[in-house]
Amino acid sequence: MLKRYLLLTKPGIVFGNLISVTGGFFLASRGSIDLLLFFATVIGVSLVVASGCVFNNVIDRDIDEYMARTQKRALVEGTIDVRSALIMAGLLGAAGFLLLLLIANPLAAGVALFGFAIYVGAYSLWLKRHSVHGTLIGSLSGAAPPVIGYCAVSNQFDLGAWLVLLIFSLWQMPHSYAIAIFRLEDYRAASIPVLSVARGVTAAKRQTVIYIVAFGVAAMLLTLTGYTGYVYLVAMAVVTLYWLYIALARYRQQDDRRWARQLFGISILVVTVLSAVMAIDYQNPPSQARTAQVAALAPLHV
């Protein structure tokens, strides 16, 4: 029974967000790590993400029974009742938000609340079932964890935070479109209007390629604006070009599901490399370097 409750939190999603929140945290820390803040942020984000996933399971229980990969979930089979799941989701969310608010800062908690509201409210309750644009809006919630990590350290929503939000949002698009292609029959059976269902696989494949290019351009901006160095730049160029190469070289192969699965697998590699290199190849952007220099020299002019 404990395993069934654990699965409600979608551990794979929680773990994936652990990687990205760490990248954002280390990018903003620039080598000066506050361990208490780090663990509070990681645990807080994990609890909030887990809460959102449980709420999503409750909301989606009526459509989950139509999809092969979800029809054995506990809320579909009735082995866990809705009331228990809602209590669990509420407790996880409350603990996560409090941890971020009390040990990190209100900005980090606010970004977490924003991501939570997008995922549970806008996406799960409405857009997923009614709009082809659900993936686009939902990408904002998927990009929230690394931004939370960044803001937990910086306590400001500066250019770096905006860039992290942009980069991870754009990564979500080809990642999600790939899932929607190789899980096409599941989404069709549940009448979920993802792009591959609403406008066809060809349209979804074309948008996947476009978003890979957009992601690559956005990823370069962290170096061009001075937040990361050339190790980051080279690493991201290599993995993004590989992602794009596979997308284009195998674009016209007969098996669209295989094409999508390949791109999905590469997307996991890309986001892992992204989070790792932004965490280790950080720089002081010019604006912050000047601010630090002025602050250091200020006493000399007193």
Directed axis angle between helix 159-182 and helix 144-154, to 10°?
160
Residue 282, strand partner residues: 228
Q: Is residue 291 part of a domain?
A: no
Do both 147 and 231 map to the same domain? no
CA distances from 221 to 20, 75, 120, 160, 285 (A): 18, 43, 30, 10, 12
pLDDT in tens, 53-99: 999 999 999 999 999 889 989 999 999 999 999 999 999 999 999 99
Confidence of residue 296 (pLDDT cuts 50, 70, 90): very low
Q: What is the CATH number of the domain that holds 174?
A: 1.20.120
Do both 138 and 106 map to the same domain? yes
Residues of the chain with pLDDT > 90, as a percent, come to: 90
* Cβ neighbours of residue 26 closer than 8 Å, sequence gap 6 or more: 33, 149, 278, 279, 280, 282
Residue 222 and residue 278 in contact, taking contact as beta carbons nearer than 8 Å:
yes
Q: Give the 3-state secondary structure of residue 54.
A: helix
Do both 3 and 68 map to the same domain? yes
Domain that holds residue 280: 158-286
Q: Is residue 297 part of a domain?
A: no
Last residue of a domain, one of 155, 176, 208: 155
For 269-287, what is the mean pLDDT? 92
Confidence of residue 284 (pLDDT cuts 50, 70, 90): confident
Task: Look at residue 261 and tell me whether its pLDDT is greater than 60.
Answer: yes
Of the candidates 173, 165, 42, 187, the one whose C-alpha atom is nearest the C-alpha of residue 114 is 165
Question: Terminal CA-to-CA distance of the chain, rounded, Å?
Answer: 67
Do both 186 and 118 map to the same domain? no
Residue 139 and residue 174 in contact, taking contact as beta carbons nearer than 8 Å:
no
pLDDT in tens, 145-189: 999 999 999 999 999 999 999 999 999 999 999 999 999 999 999
For 259-286, what is the mean pLDDT? 95
Q: Is residue 193 part of a domain?
A: yes
Q: Is residue 145 part of a domain?
A: yes
- Name the DSSP class of 228: B
Last residue of a domain, one of 98, 120, 155: 155
Last residue of a domain, one of 129, 155, 181: 155
Do both 176 and 246 map to the same domain? yes
Task: Look at residue 297 and tell me whether its pLDDT is greater than 50.
Answer: no
Q: How far apart are CA 44 and CA 122, in angstroms?
A: 22
Instruction: Quote the pLDDT of residue 119.
Output: 98
Of the candidates 246, 254, 271, the one whose C-alpha atom is nearest the C-alpha of residue 175 is 271
Q: How many beta carbons lie within 10 A of that of residue 294, not counting itself?
A: 10
Do both 144 and 281 map to the same domain? no
Do both 3 and 90 map to the same domain? yes
**What is the chain's mean pLDDT, rounded?**
93
CA distances from 182 to 170, 178, 190 (A): 20, 6, 15
Q: Is residue 299 part of a domain?
A: no
Task: Look at residue 200 and tell me whether its pLDDT is greater than 50.
Answer: yes
Q: Is residue 294 part of a domain?
A: no
Do both 69 and 168 map to the same domain? no
Instruction: Quote the pLDDT of residue 2.
Output: 85
Instruction: Quote the pLDDT of residue 292.
Output: 44
Q: Is residue 300 part of a domain?
A: no
Do both 113 and 256 map to the same domain? no
Instruction: Quote the pLDDT of residue 294.
Output: 35
Do both 70 and 32 map to the same domain? yes
Structure tokens at 301: 């002019």
Confidence of residue 21 (pLDDT cuts 50, 70, 90): very high
pLDDT in tens, 110-128: 999 999 999 999 999 999 9
Do both 30 and 108 map to the same domain? yes
Of the candidates 143, 96, 97, the one whose C-alpha atom is nearest the C-alpha of residue 118 is 143
3 vs 182 pLDDT, higher one: 182
* Cβ neighbours of residue 140 closer than 8 Å, sequence gap 6 or more: 114, 115, 118, 165, 169
Do both 1 and 148 map to the same domain? yes
Query: Radius of gyration of the chain from Cα atoms?
Result: 20
Q: What is the CATH number of the domain that holds 114?
A: 1.10.357.140
Q: How far apart are CA 131 and CA 135, in angstroms?
A: 9
Number of domains in the chain: 2
Instruction: Quote the pLDDT of residue 302.
Output: 37
Q: Is residue 97 part of a domain?
A: yes
Residue 250 and residue 261 in contact, taking contact as beta carbons nearer than 8 Å:
no
C-alpha torsion sign, points 209, 279, 24, 54? positive
Residues of the chain with pLDDT > 70, as a percent, come to: 94
